[in-house]
Amino acid sequence: MQHLDLQVMEQALQWARDGHEVWLCTVLSTFGSAPRPPGAMLIARADGAYTGSLSGGCVEEEFLASLCRGAFRDTVQIIRYGDDEDERRRFRLPCDGMLQVLIERRLPSQDWLSHLQSLLATLHGQQRQLRRVDLTTGEATLHADQGGEAARVKDEQVEIRIGPVLRLLLAGVSPVARICASYARELGCEIIACDPREEAQGELIDNIPVQPVLPSLYIASGGCHETTAVVALTHDPRIDDLALMEAVHTPAFYIGVMGSVRTSAKRAERLKRVGGLSDEEIQRIHMPIGLGLGSKTPAEIALAVMADVLRVYRGKARDEL
């Protein structure tokens, strides 16, 4: 399973190598309800071939139709879709939905090829970067990311944060883990499952193999970056606890483990006593994992887990829900 951003960058790189003129579109902001978040990308050629998504439908159709008619000849420009009710109806945007999109026209060159290679390396890497596009000159550069909005316009420059796709690292196989993987696939996550137990081997879900290694060893070998969520869902402390002990020493944005309030309190004490974890490290662990939805079945528990992962990923406090 490849995240759509990776598909866009790989296609852009292939077209650049083949000498094609391309248009790279990036969602800068959304107002009201919108199907795709800021930072979502689409790459297209003048003949209408494309990869990626801006809205999940009609905005892409409008853009491609205009492109085939010879529009978008500027090196960079910002276009708004859904400014009025008629446009929202035509583009099938949800109520009050509106998109602001950066459109870059890029000719084949070594500089463009190198820039795309750097973007792809960032998506596969360990840290996020800030991409700046000058609205006057069209120059695109990469810088160290200091955090902030996913995309914004500032002083005749567009700033877009780009980095590794959301990775779900499943520490051990269980019925809940399998359903989490299914939800994660629909969310476009990279999915990694680790479990050394013989009975866990094979595919977790279609095309997602279980790696026959202790999750803790995978984590210790550099398996987590800053957009990784580590979830331990086996109820086996030999797998869960070791994974947690390693995960707290990584930049993973979410670390969680399944268990009741009572079990979680015992685990916290054990992680301090046996694992030597500090209070700050214990505080990084979501236990019990997930939103408090009163979940009972594996599907309900998985829903609560993935909802909480997404909540933290989007920077939402529990009291904002």
Buried b (16+ CB within 10 A) or exposed e, 249-259: ebebbbbbbbb
CA-only gyration radius of the chain, Å: 22
Tokens of 308: 């909480």
> Which pLDDT score, from 0 to 100, does residue 97 have?
63
DSSP state of 29: E
Q: Which of 74, 61, 77, 22 is nearest to 44 (CA)?
A: 22
> Which pLDDT score, from 0 to 100, does residue 1 have?
39
Strands 76-81 and 151-154: unpaired
Q: Which of 176, 169, 243 is nearest to 208 (CA)?
A: 169
Q: Which amino acid is at 316?
A: K
Buried b (16+ CB within 10 A) or exposed e, 128-167: bbbbebebeeeebeeeebeeeebbeeeeeebbbbbbbbbb
Q: What percentage of the chain carries pLDDT values higher than 90? A: 71
Angle, CA of 273, 274 and 278, to the nearest 5°: 55
Tokens of 142: 């990469």
> Which pLDDT score, from 0 to 100, does residue 317 have?
86
Torsion angles phi and psi, residue 318, rounded to 5: -60, -35
In the chain, what are the domains? 4-162 (no CATH), 167-320 (3.40.50.720)
The pTM (predicted TM-score) of the whole model is 0.73
> Which pLDDT score, from 0 to 100, does residue 92 have?
54
Highest mean predicted confidence (pLDDT) among 29-33, 37-41, 122-126, 226-230: 226-230
pLDDT tens digit string along 229-265? 999 999 999 999 999 999 999 999 999 999 999 999 9
Distance between CA 66 and CA 78 in Å, rounded?
14
Beta carbons of 140 and 133 less than 8 angstroms apart = yes
Residue 27 pLDDT grade (very low, low, confident, very high; cuts 50, 70, 90): very high
Q: Kindly report each contact of residues 82-85 with a partner whose C-beta sits within 8 Å and lies 24 or more positions away, as own/partner.
A: 82/31
- Half-sphere exposure of residue 73: CA atoms within 13 angstroms, side-chain side: 3
Tokens of 88: 């929202």
Contacts of 26 by beta carbon, 8 Å cutoff, 6+ apart: 39, 40, 41, 101, 102, 104, 151, 158, 160
Give the torsion sign (CA, 171, 129, 36, 114).
negative
> Which pLDDT score, from 0 to 100, does residue 115 have?
97
Secondary structure (3-state) at 157: strand
